[in-house]
Amino acid sequence: MQTLRAYLIVYIIILTFQFTAIVCNGLLLFLFFKEKSLQRNSSMRLVLFLVATTFSLAITTLPYSIYLTISWNPFYINLNPYITMLCGAPLIFHLKIDLTLIESLAVERIMARIL
């Protein structure tokens, strides 16, 4: 029973982090589109792409987190496999895109240091 309550606490924490990511990344996207100087800088463009992918991940996985929190039951964990497969797909795409962007940022910083 205690471990099942721990799941509910984890779900609520995940929802809180997702809403925080949506608000913070949304603010960063707004600043990127408002400030023209940020759009012209190529290294900041990579950061923009990173912010955009994180924002899209938070938005696309939000329904799954809400589903887990709303359908929480203190006696058993109800994980519908179809909803899990459908809502878990954005994570795979995000990890691949995020890894590529982080590597690009690292290479760009190394090249700026060398040159």
Q: Model confidence over 95-109: pLDDT tens digits? A: 888 888 888 888 888
CA gap 54, 50 in Å, rounded: 6
Domain housing 39: 2-114
Q: Tens digit of pLDDT for each residue in 9-60?
A: 888 898 999 999 999 999 999 999 998 888 888 778 888 888 998 898 889 8
CA gap 33, 28 in Å, rounded: 9
Tokens of 61: 């996985």
Query: How many structural domains comprise the chain?
Result: 1
